[in-house]
């Protein structure tokens, strides 16, 4: 309990990270209760009200089919955050496992895994993902899996580097002397000692996954109409940028603020969890 209070006190000193946390908390509430709290039906079309500017009836205006932009942005949070968290989760599981195995066993296994990591990191991430999703049918499930399986290299590098140091410490030798097997040592003794940087990377990875999903949706490989997502709203809004700039700019601001909040929280967690910044 004392450790939790110390963590919260140190984290609270970072006002930017605290502001990001409050914003993300609000986003989570919107995500969970979006179908209930949206001001209007995000799918209801009314061509008489198409491309209307923001007003008291439509706080962020309407799109080319007369649908309420605010309602669609609120519902779109579900798509973006779901893809972000699941893709980051898949990449964390794959990357942490690869890093554990590479760092613990070393030798040829380490060489093969880190060679694969170097190969993945030699390609621009968006181009690599775009090449894969161009082959598979466009769907959110495919997007989440593809993002997860192409974003794990950073986890593997960080975990492997930390494992190479931690596995030489006395408590690992003591566990081995007591008869603990390789799997038990890796998951029960080594992994908890390298989780701090993994948590920070995971936070930043969610933001990266949201950006990538928005880019793919913008190009038509993500959520398919009429399902609202921030990416496809920008794609639609750019056609009407002169007549109704509120469509694209509203979705763009939603992406910007959400990604910024995740980055601020990630920076705050790094400052708190980094043992070299104990005086923070």
DSSP string, 231-267: HHHHHHHHHTTTT-THHHHHHHHHHHHHHHHHHHHHH
d(CA 240, CA 42): 19
Task: Classify residue 58 by its DSSP letter.
Answer: S
pTM, two decimal places: 0.86
pLDDT, one tens digit per residue, over 223-258 is: 788 888 899 999 999 999 989 999 999 999 999 999
| 3-state SS assignment for residue 62 | strand
Determine phi and psi for 243, rounding to 5 degrees.
-80, -40
pLDDT, one tens digit per residue, over 179-207 is: 888 888 888 888 888 888 888 889 889 99
Asked if 267 and 17 touch (Cβ cutoff 8 Å), the reply is: yes
**pLDDT (mean) for 112-132:** 85
Which domains are assigned to the chain?
62-277 (1.10.3720.10)
């Amino acid at each position: 309990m004392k450790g939790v209070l110390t963590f919260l006190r140190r984290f609270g000193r970072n006002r930017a990270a605290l502001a990001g946390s409050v914003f993300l908390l609000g986003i989570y509430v919107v995500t969970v209760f979006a179908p209930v709290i949206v001001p209007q039906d995000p799918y209801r079309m009314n061509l008489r009200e198409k491309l209307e500017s923001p007003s008291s009836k439509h706080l962020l205006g309407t799109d080319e089919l007369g649908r309420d932009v605010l309602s669609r942005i609120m519902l779109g949070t579900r798509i973006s955050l779901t893809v972000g968290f699941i893709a980051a989760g898949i990449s964390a599981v794959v990357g942490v496992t690869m890093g554990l195995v590479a760092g613990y066993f070393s030798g040829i296994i380490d060489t093969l895994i880190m060679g694969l990591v170097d190969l993945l990191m030699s390609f621009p991430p968006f181009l690599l993902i775009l090449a894969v999703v161009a082959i598979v049918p466009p769907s959110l499930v495919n997007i989440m899996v593809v993002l997860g399986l192409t974003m794990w290299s950073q986890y593997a590098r960080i975990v492997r580097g930390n494992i190479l140091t931690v596995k030489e410490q006395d408590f690992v030798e003591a566990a081995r002397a007591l008869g603990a097997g390789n799997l038990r040592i890796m998951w029960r003794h080594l992994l908890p000692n390298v989780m701090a940087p993994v948590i920070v990377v995971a936070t930043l990875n969610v933001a990266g996954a949201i950006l990538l999903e928005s880019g793919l949706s913008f190009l038509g490989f993500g959520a398919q109409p009429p399902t609202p997502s921030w990416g496809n709203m920008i794609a639609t809004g750019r056609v009407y940028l002169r007549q109704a700039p509120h469509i694209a700019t509203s979705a763009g601001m939603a992406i910007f603020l959400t990604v910024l909040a995740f980055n601020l929280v990630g920076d705050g967690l790094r400052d708190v969890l980094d043992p070299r910044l104990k005086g923070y």
